[in-house]
């Protein structure tokens, strides 16, 4: 199954989860997502998602000057984003549980 299709639905949740641990800049977020196992996630998708969440008021951003290379724009989760993360992760849990039951029917009877 194509994971990029699945990613579309949960990328918001994944980005929020990463930022909930620690503030990060664009490429760092991508790297952490890939390290976590979401290897198919694209740079543009992360960047676009960040812009959308920022515009919707779920993130704040600040620029950190860098000694070598360009300035880095860090993103941080705010209360609105944390609230969204909370709701989304509950939805995900329910959904994942349902899918799991559906795919392993023998556990239902047990």
Partner 1 sequence: MTTTTTRTDGVAEYLEQVRRHLADLPDDERADLLEDLEDHLTELCAEFDDGLEAHLGTPERYAEELRASAGLADLAPRSRFGALADAVVASRPIVRLRHASRAVQDLPVYGRARHFADELRPGWWVLRGYLLALAAQVVTDAGEYSYPIPRFMGRRSLGLVMVAVAVYASIGLAHRGDRGRRWRLLAVAATVVALIAAVHAGSLIDDAAYQWSHSGGYVEYVYPSDGLYGVNGPITNIYPYTVDGERLENVLLYDQNGNPVEISPYGVSDTEYDLYRYEGGTPTTMGQPYYGYGDPPLTIDDRPVYNLFPLPTPEPFPTLPGD
Interface ranges with partner 1 (CB under 8 A) = 8, 11, 25-27, 42-49, 51-52, 55, 68-73
Which residues, 6+ apart, have CB-to-CB distance to 88 below 8 Å? 12, 13, 16
Q: Give min distance, CB of 42 to partner 1, in A.
A: 5
Dihedral of alpha carbons 48, 37, 65, 19, sign? positive
Q: What angle do CA 38, 7, 13 make, to 5 degrees?
A: 90
Separation between Cα atoms, residue 93 and residue 105, nearest integer Å: 18
| Closer residue to partner 1, CB minimum distance, 68 or 107 | 68
Q: Closest separation between CB of residue 48 and partner 1, Å? A: 3
Q: Which is nearer to partner 1, 48 or 97 (CB)?
A: 48
Closer Cβ to partner 1, 52 or 78, answer by number: 52
Task: Map residue 96 onto helix, strand or coil.
Answer: helix
Beta bridge partners of 59: 77
Between 71 and 100, whose beta carbon lies closer to partner 1? 71
Shortest separation between residue 33's beta carbon and partner 1, angstroms? 13
């Amino acid at each position: 199954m194509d994971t990029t299709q699945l990613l579309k639905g949960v990328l918001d949740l994944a980005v929020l989860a990463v930022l909930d641990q620690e503030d990060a800049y664009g490429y760092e977020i991508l790297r952490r997502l890939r390290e976590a196992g979401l290897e198919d996630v694209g740079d543009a998708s992360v960047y676009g998602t960040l812009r959308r969440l920022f515009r919707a008021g779920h993130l704040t951003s600040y620029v950190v000057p860098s000694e070598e290379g360009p300035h880095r724009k860090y993103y941080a989760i705010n209360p609105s984003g944390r609230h969204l993360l909370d709701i989304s992760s509950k939805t995900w849990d329910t959904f994942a549980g349902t899918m799991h039951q559906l795919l392993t029917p023998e556990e239902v009877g047990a």
